[in-house]
Structure 1
Amino acid sequence: MSIETILGAIVIGAVIGALGRLLLPGRQPIGWILTVVVGIIAALIGTAIAQSLGVATTNGIDWIEIVMQVVLAIVGVGAVAALRGRTRV
């Protein structure tokens, strides 16, 4: 893995995580680092699901893959926010 690949994953994860957090209604008690981590995980899982479903890789933007990633980020941010909200006293 090169440094460009790692930095690219962080940037894409930050964007996907931020979109997931913005589209989730209400306030989420999680920080930006956890949002980026959830975004990276959502991006990786979304890409794997898109590839297993046979979504074709195009020369342009793969909108179906991005929608999958953002939906997974919404679910992930919601789950992490719910877990963090319950554990706080």
Structure 2
Amino acid sequence: MTIGGLVAAVVLGAAVGVLGRFVVPGRERMPAWLLMAVGVVAAFGGTGLVHLSSLGDGGWNLWEALFQIILPVAAVVLVATFWPKRTGR
């Protein structure tokens, strides 16, 4: 993975993690830092999947970008579904 790939994974993962908040219906209960962390980790996972499946060619490619967007959104939806609800407010 190149430096550009690392930066892209962090930036896209954080941005998509926060934007994933709008995909989940209802009032969001997760803190913003957790959304960004889930997004970044899932973006790195997407990059890893692309490289493991030999879809990546070493430079920027569409598959890597798609996996860095789709996986964080799915991860945010999954974590938000199982995140405990706040009580007492």
TM range (shorter): 0.5 to 0.7
Q: Which residue of 2 aligns with 1:75?
A: 74
Give the TM-score normalised by the residue count of structure 1. Answer: 0.68
Structure 2, unpaired ranges of 5+: none
- CA 10–71 in structure 1, closer or farther in 2 if over 3 Å, else same: closer
Give the TM-score normalised by the residue count of structure 2. Answer: 0.68
1:50: Cα distance to partner? 0.1
Task: Encode CA deviations 1:15-39: one digit per residue, 9 max, x unaligned.
Answer: 23234x0662524321210111011
CA distance in structure 1 between the partners assigned to 2:63 and 2:14 by the alignment? 19
Q: Which residue of 1 aligns with 2:56?
A: 56
Equivalences for residues 38-53 of structure 1 within 5 A: 38-53=38-53
Q: Percent identity?
A: 26
**Letter aligned with residue 76 of structure 2:** V
Structure with greater proportional helix content: 1
1:45: Cα distance to partner? 0.5
